[in-house]
Amino acid sequence: MPYPTIDLNTKKVILLSGYQWSDNSTDEEVQVVALEKLQTEMERHTDAVAFCYVSGKWVPAA
Taking the model in full, what pTM does it have? 0.83
Structure-model confidence comparison of residues 26 and 19, the more confident one: 19
Average pLDDT over residues 10-18: 93
Contact yes or no for 4/17 (Cβ under 8 A) = no
Domain spans of the chain, in order of start: 5-60
**Is pLDDT at 37 greater than 60 in this prediction?**
yes
Mean pLDDT of the chain: 90
Q: Using CA atoms, how far apart are residues 26 and 18, in angstroms rounded to an integer?
A: 21
Average pLDDT over residues 45-52: 95
Q: Using CA atoms, how far apart are residues 43 and 56, in angstroms rounded to an integer?
A: 18
pLDDT of residue 22: 82
Q: Using CA atoms, how far apart are residues 56 and 9, in angstroms rounded to an integer?
A: 21
